[in-house]
Amino acid sequence: MLSRWRDLLPGLILIAGVVALFAVTTTFPTVPPAFAQGMQATAMPRLILGVIALLAVILIAQGYGKSESAKPAISIRVWATAALLVAGTLAFEWLGLTLTTALTCFAMPLLWGERRIVRVGVFAVLTPLLIYLLFTHVLQLRLPQGILTSLLN
């Protein structure tokens, strides 16, 4: 059904999101009109959610009877890259920026099919090193260095 009804899935996801967020807006406290100065805090989000819901319905209606255009299958490389990025983000605080960047710059090229391991190694060392030197010593930006804090700061 999803492949024979264009934009049904994104439309339904949007409507579900609208319902969920509308429910969240019901938890917003109401302030006295004098403080609200024209609009309560719920007014704008609800107005936008209403517009999104209306547009999602139009999107679904427009797609009725039209088949979904073929999309390239999501390769294992995308999932692996996404997992790597999430792991990098989670490790960011602990490992620090320089080490996280080095590991990402080592793992991602290999994941994307690069087999020249020496080049990858050099790249994984030089990229974070250049970023560290440029931002910490030239632009004076304090980057979190995690377990390398005592060494690099």
Partner 1 sequence: MEHVIAGFGVLLDPVSLSVIVLGTIVGVLVGALPGLSSSMAVALLLPFTIYLEPVPAIAMLAALYCAGTFGGSITAILINAPGAPPAAATAFDGYPMAQRGEAGRALGMAAVSSVIGGILSLVVMVIAAPALAQIANTFGPPEYFALAVFGLSMLASISSDSPVKNLIGGALGLLIATVGVDLTTGVERFTFGVPELYEGISFIPVLIGLFAVAELLTQANAKDKPLERVSLTAVKLPSLADFKAVWKTILRSSGIGTFIGILPAEGSTVAAMIGYNEARRWSKHPERFGTGEIEGIAGPEAANNAATGGSMVPTLALGIPGSATAAVILGGLQIHGLRPGAYLFKNQPDLLYSIFAAMLFANIVFLGFGLLGARLFSRISLVPRTFLWPTVFALCVVGAYGVNQSLIDVSIMMLAGFIGFWLKRFGFGAAPIIMGVVLGSLVENSLAQSMIIFDHHALRFVERPIALAFFALAAISIFYKPLSDAIRQRRTARTSLSGETR
CA 51/CA 41 separation, integer angstroms: 17
Site for partner 1 in 33-62 (CB under 8 A): 35-41, 44-45, 48-49, 51-52, 55-56, 58-59, 62
Asked whether position 133 contacts partner 1 by CB under 8 A, the answer is no
Contacts of 107 (CB under 8 A, 6+ apart): 84
User: What DSSP state is assigned to residue 32?
Assistant: -
Of 52 and 148, which has the nearer Cβ to partner 1?
52
Q: Which residues of 27-61 are buried (b: 16+ CB within 10 A; e: fewer)?
A: eeeeeeeeeeeeebebeeebeebeebbeebeebbe
Which helix (H) or strand (E) segment holds residue 12: the answer is: helix 8-25
Q: Which of 67, 77, 83, 129 binds partner 1 (CB under 8 A)?
A: 77
* Site of interaction with partner 1 (CB under 8 A): 7, 9-10, 14, 21, 24-25, 28-29, 31, 35-41, 44-45, 48-49, 51-52, 55-56, 58-59, 62, 71-72, 74-75, 77-78, 81-82, 85-86, 88-89, 92-93, 97, 100-101, 104-105, 108-109, 112-114, 119, 123, 127-128, 131, 135, 139-144
